[in-house]
Structure 1
Amino acid sequence: MGLVIIFLLVALLAIFGLVRSIKDKNLLGAFFAFGSLAVFGWFAIMTIIYNGFPVAH
């Protein structure tokens, strides 16, 4: 379940990258940032829904 946390962090960084690339009018960067956000965010959210949030042991 540590992988889900890492993917959530990657999705969070993709949000910052998307905002920055849109602000700089970098369309290719915005495209890849949105793609990363979609893939990593979708995987992390669906894993949390399917398996539940990881608990601390």
Structure 2
Amino acid sequence: MALAIMFGLVTLFALWALFREMKKKNLFAVGFAFLTLAVFGWFTVMTVIDLFHSGGWGAGH
């Protein structure tokens, strides 16, 4: 559960950074923020799906 929360926080920070850097028109930082958002967003979604699919919060496989 803690891993999903940490991934979610990183995803939210990356989303905030993406919008901030788009406003500044810093395309290099926009690229890195987008990649971070894509990777950690995917990790967040898949971790939450795994938690629900495995039948428990930290129960193991």
State the TM-score, normalizing by the size of structure 1: 0.85
Give unpaired runs (5+ residues) of structure 1.
none
Query: Which residue identity lines up with residue 5 of structure 1 in the other structure?
Result: I
Query: Which residue identity lines up with residue 8 of structure 2 in the other structure?
Result: L
Residue of structure 2 in register with 1:20 after alignment: 20
Q: Is residue 42 from structure 1 mapped to residue 35 from structure 2 by the alignment?
A: no
Q: How far apart, CA to CA, are the structure 2 residues paired with 1:27 and 1:4?
A: 29
Q: Percent identity?
A: 50
**Runs of 4 or more consecutive aligned structure 1 residues displaced over 2 Å after TM superposition:** none
The Cα shift of 1:49 comes to: 1.1
Q: Aligned pairs, how many?
A: 54
Cα deviations by residue, 1:20-40 (Å, 9 ceiling, x for unpaired):
000000001000000000011
The Cα shift of 1:16 comes to: 0.4
Look at both structures and tell me which one has the larger radius of gyration over its CA atoms: 2
Residue of structure 1 in register with 2:30 after alignment: 30
Give unpaired runs (5+ residues) of structure 2.
none
Q: Is residue 10 from structure 1 mapped to residue 10 from structure 2 by the alignment?
A: yes
